[in-house]
Chain A
Amino acid sequence: MLRRLVLFLILMTLATGAFSTALAQDVIELEAWVAFSDHRYDWAVDTADRFNALHDDINVTMVSVVDYDTIVNNYTLGREDGTYPEIVQLFDAALQFAVDSDWFSYAETIIDGRDEVLGHPVNFDDIIPVISNYYTVDGIWASVAWNTSTPIMYYNVELLEQAGIMELPLTWADILDACVALQPLVDDGTISACATWPFSGWFIEQWLAQQNEYMVNNENGRAGRATEFNLDTDAYRAIAQFYRDLYSNGYFIFEGQDQWGPPTQTFISGKTAIMMSSSAAARAISEGAAATGFTLETTPMAYNQDAPSGWVGNILGGATMWISNGLDQAVEDAAMAFLLFFSNTENSASWHTASGYVPVRNSSIELLKNLEPGNEILWDIPSGGRVDIEAADWYAAFPNFLTASTQLGDSTVNNATRGSTYGTFQQSRPYYNGLVEEYMLNGGDLDAMIAETNAELTELLQEYNFLFADE
């Protein structure tokens, strides 16, 4: 009797197992790697859940990976042993590598002329041109824009007013002047220094573009494959000198290369009056400023007033979503449908409120300007869900969030402001950023330092090209 019961149970278990496997086979499992771990990751998970709720047969799982660099490294290693996701978020510095590696299916190829994928409209023309332009490779729309940012300035208005500064600084000279005016506040211990910001190579790239200068030859690698570095320019020298002036006068708090947390903390706790950061930090810095109790205002990224070109424009930063190649048609379509949903009008608008990333669609900006009750767009950090924006015009109520869009909108699109593309981007960043760090901290023979680093970076680039470029 007992034996029969056991046998029956075993058979039942096997049967249910087989049944559930059969069911599971009908669900397409997608993994998406993103480089966020804070409330921006919560937003991504929530939005993936919304997509999953629309499709019984697709399940998207978000995976949080430390940062942009680590995502590229993990994906690269994953390709070696076959453990990589269907969707991966790659930042601008990995663009050339993404193209050269031949690991991805391009969005436009997957869409193949369709108007919609699994019910999600393509509507490519709605994407802001400067954004779609950046991620178009050889005339093909390669990856799906999601988080697009640009550096902007953040100011503590009360501190500036206390120092008698009534107009927000716009240029490097304005910042140095403001720092002179703010020095009494430093001396009496009200603040620690005039300014701080993350010491990132990204800002150097931006400042080169602003001055209409290329990082690498062949017009930043946009007119042909880049083969040489182009650091020996007045624009690059000016950046190093600006940092040197800031630091040697004690105006700038340096917290180490690529440390984003400490400078932000310092600024939002009211210990400096000036900060520069990605527009993607707008939401976090706004919350911080409100908690400390000061008025936050933003302006476009400060520029070199002495550049012969004047201000030309900024590069758009951030990352886009890429789809791994070699997937089944059904899986590829599911991934594409998800990304179209992820960056549709409502979601792009909501994502903007959650972070400060620029909305990638014109229709999103329109939506944010003409809100109606029941919109459920504002990301509420504490509850981790979407709530109504009460104002009718988001930008009128939160003008600090408009600065980034304005800056990109005003930018002239040319091969300087489209930004550089070359294979050793990630590898080179610490070099040209480190050189400026060295000069800022210790001074020295700038020309000799540039010559040495330029030669070194050119050699690395040529080695890369040898391994990757078509013969």
Chain B
Amino acid sequence: MEEIAYIVHPAVVTLAGALLGALYFAFLRWQTQVGSQRVSLIVGAIAGAIGATMLTAPLGYCMFQGDQTSEDVMVGWIMVGLGLLLTLNIGSVVLWRYFRGQRLLPRGDTTPGAFRGRFGLVYALAVLSPTILVLVYFVYLPMFDTLRFSTFLARFGAPRTRFICVSNFSRMLGDLDYHSNLFLSFALSFGIIIIAMSLALLIASMLNQPIRGANVYRTLLIWPYAISPIVAGSIFGLLLGTESGIVNRVLDLTLGVKVPWLVTVPAAQISVVLASVWNVIGFNILFYTAGLQTIPKDLLESASIDGASAWQQFARITFPLLSPFTFFLIVTNTIYAFFDTFGLIFVLTRGGPTESTFTAMYRVYVTGILASDIGKSTAQSLILFLIVVGITIFQFRVGQRRVQYGNY
């Protein structure tokens, strides 16, 4: 058998993972002073070894082989890191629950016993099978395909594909255009989320006042959310064209100026943000309106009797009580801004001028659908997926400490 030359040998990767896992678990043991020293070391080493190899071994450690570039090796180490993050976190939670004698899974509130008996499991599976089938066919299999294709050079309609290890990923490491696409995704998303949420809260607060015809306003304000991003893009295209746009027509007649909304920087970026805000704001208003109605009137009443100003009432009572809604909206708005705006961008600016509105998700669309280059585009979509998972975990960690789920 031919000897494969490695830049980093798989054994080294495995040992490094095991060492790191053992060290981390030893640290946890020292910090918590719970459980057996020896067991935590052993379990830590196993979890570390699994973490280091779970993503690299299925690809045959190809990224560490002699003919790979230094970027490929770096991607390999990132995969080791991701695997370790996963196994060490899950491993430590499980092990310390065991050490503390807790149940491994928290018991749910549901009444037990519904599916007990001889054919309980069969019956449960039979009832669940339509959902499971749909999930497997439309979610899990495509996800598996995405994972697989990301390691290939592949195109729709091509008679063959070629395994290229992690080249699709390592290429992105050095691709400055892709970096700016990613940065742009963050910047535009940040703008969309901040404006869409604060404006929605303002409008929802105004709607919550006793005004005549509030229901009509509410319906009209929620309307834009029923419109797909593509259509929203078309509407704003008609509004914002330099020569033929309605906005510039009005500006020209009143102020004598024309703003090249869609073809200059940063006007194009602002246009994309505003169009997205308009598209998503109805959703936010809906939830904030619902949220405001859950806030007990007596609380605000007593505050105002005690002499709290309107601002104080908002800052100290209303806003904190809305925090579950705010938290939910931040998560959904992040997902919207990252994943759903590409249709709007496609219609409005095609990523231009000079790629100044070319977000990472738009790149996925252009590469995968317009150019049929599915290997690269699945790799790009996995990166986006990881980023959004990361952001969501971060939001949950930060958010849950500050969110107050009141029991009123």
Contacts and interface: CB of A to CB of B under 8 A. Distances in A.
B340 interface: no
B243 A265 contact: yes
Interface in B225-280: 241-245, 258, 260, 262-263
A262 B353 contact: no
Nearest to B262: A256
B349 A427 contact: no
A253 B157 CA distance: 39
B158 A258 contact: no
A466 B153 contact: yes
A441 B264 CA distance: 9
Contact of A463 (B153, B156, B159): B153
Given A434-B354, A441-B353, A427 B371 contact: yes
Bin chain A's interface residue count.
35 or more
Interface string B143-177: 00000000001111111111000000000000000
Interface in A196-214: 196
A427 B156 CA distance: 13
Nearest to B350: A257
Interface in A219-262: 253-259, 261-262
Interface residues of B, number: 31
B369 interface: yes
A438 interface: yes
Interface of B: 153-162, 241-245, 258, 260, 262-263, 349-350, 352-355, 366, 369-373
B293 to A, nearest CB: 42
A351 interface: no
Interface in A426-442: 426-427, 430, 434, 437-438, 441-442
A424 B371 CA distance: 8
Contact of A438 (B244, B262, B354): B354
A286 B366 CA distance: 34
Contacts of B355: 434
Given A103-B157, A430-B366, A437 B244 contact: no
B262 A255 contact: yes
Per DSSP, are chain A's interface residues mostly helix, strand or loop, or mixed? Answer: helix
Interface stretch (A1-9, A74-82, A409-417): A74-82
B156 A467 contact: no
B156 A76 contact: yes
Given A103-B157, A441-B354, 7 more contacts: A255-B262, A256-B262, A266-B243, A269-B244, A442-B354, A466-B162, A467-B155
A352 interface: no
A434 B154 CA distance: 25
A232 B352 CA distance: 24
B235 to A, nearest CB: 14
B243 A255 contact: yes
A154 interface: no
Contact of A467 (B162, B242, B245, B260): B162
A134 interface: no
A427 B370 contact: yes
A468 interface: yes
Contacts of B156: 76-77, 79-80
Interface string A423-463: 01011001000100110011000000000000000001001
Interface in A62-80: 69, 73, 76-77, 79-80
A424 B157 CA distance: 13
